[in-house]
Amino acid sequence: MFHDLTLRDGSHAIAHQLTEEFIEDYCKFAEDAGIAVIEVGHGNGLGASSVLIGESLVSDCNMIKIAKKHLKKTKLSVHIIPGLATIARDIEPAIESGVDIFRIASHCTEASLTKTHIEYLREKGKEVYGVLMMSASCSVKKLFDEATKMKSYGAMAIIIMDSTGSYKPNDVTERIKALTKLEIPIGFHGHNNLYLAVANSIAAIESGATIIDVTLRGFGAGAGNTPLEIMAFLYESNSIDKNKILEYCDSFKWPVPLCKPINILTSKYKLFGGFEKHIVKAAEKYKISYIKLIEEISKLSLTAGQEDFIYIIAESLKLSQTS
């Protein structure tokens, strides 16, 4: 099953400036085209809109409200990172608004942070998945152990994210095959830093993954995601209207992501693709090389939500160069 994250991961590509009009139009398209699941929200999920990370043009509440108005058969999903989203402020309103699937995410070595959120949602009878971000930055065994924790909390599926766009197909095969031993649905979320998102998604399916994250035209953080239109044609499905997907591609108004040198470097150093705009901005602000900045950032284990550290590192690097 394809989960369409155009209205969530795509938010990264345009500094979280998705408009109400586009959200409404895309939800109508998704429903009409027979897409099973779409996800909406700030690029970093519910509760993430802020000056440091990036402010959304449209609030979480309004995004969900607009989506639910136009989705009948298509399920609505949200992305949640504990620490950015809270139960009272973010999750409870999302439940009341009719969100169907809650994907609770953590760094691939910090699954214990998802325990409270997953257990709460299961107690409420909601469909909840565990998501392990930055999954290329730990061993297969560690990934399996962390996924096992999420399953023990009540996660009904596990998604691994190639947040850094670093995987090759054999890496994906090894990890998905290991995770299928958990005997719950396993999913894969690819990024296109090395133009391998489609190949990696195919490897995931052939290794037993049943959930594949996609976005229209690959619209997403950094070099973008696995394109919906390609996967829809590679894997025939009577539920998806492939011609409607192609027609919508032709009218898609946002820039299509491309792999740039900075994306190759973030892949090499296993950095979150959503850092790209902040790295460029910080390098320009402090008049330093983004290559040097990436090398310094790579010495720390930063993950989504820690964008403010990029500017601190850039300022420190500038001071060291001028002293």
The two tokens of residue 215 are 């976005």
| Each residue's pLDDT tens digit, 90-128 | 999 999 999 999 999 999 999 999 999 999 999 999 999
**Cβ(120)–Cβ(93) under 8 Å?**
no
Threshold 0.85, pTM exceeds: yes
Rounded Cα distance between 202 and 28, Å, is 28
Ramachandran angles phi, psi of 264, nearest 5°: -65, -40
Is residue 6 located within the same domain as residue 139? Answer: yes
**Which string of DSSP letters, residue by residue, matches 255-311?**
PPP---HHHHHHHHTT--GGGHHHHHHHHHHHT--HHHHHHHHTTS---TT-THHHH
CATH at residue 14: 3.20.20.70
Q: Which residues contact 44 (CB under 8 A, 6 or more apart)?
A: 53, 54, 79, 81, 84, 274, 304, 305
Q: What is the pLDDT of residue 86?
A: 95
The tally of domains found in the chain comes to: 2
Is residue 205 located within the same domain as residue 287? Answer: no
| Each residue's pLDDT tens digit, 199-246 | 999 999 999 999 999 999 999 999 999 999 999 999 867 689 999 999
Active-site pick, 3, 12, 107, 189: 12
Is residue 34 located within the same domain as residue 114? Answer: yes
CATH at residue 299: 1.10.8.60
Residues of the chain with pLDDT under 70: 236, 238, 323
Q: What is the pLDDT of residue 167?
A: 97
Asked if residue 39 is part of any domain, the answer here is yes
Domain that holds residue 162: 2-251
Which of these three, 251, 277, 312, is where a domain ends?
251
Is residue 65 located within the same domain as residue 182? Answer: yes
Is residue 154 located within the same domain as residue 302? Answer: no
Which helix (H) or strand (E) segment holds residue 119: the answer is helix 115-123
Which of these three, 251, 274, 298, is where a domain ends?
251
Is residue 13 located within the same domain as residue 126? Answer: yes
Annotated catalytic, 12? yes
- The alpha carbon of residue 225 and the mean position of all alpha carbons in its chain are separated, in whole angstroms, by 9
Amino acid in position 54: G
Other C-beta atoms closer than 10 Å to the C-beta of 148 total 17
Rounded Cα distance between 292 and 286, Å, is 12
Q: What is the pLDDT of residue 203?
A: 98
Asked if residue 256 is part of any domain, the answer here is no
Nearest partner of 304 among 117, 81, 15, judged by Cα: 81
Output DSSP code: residue 83. T
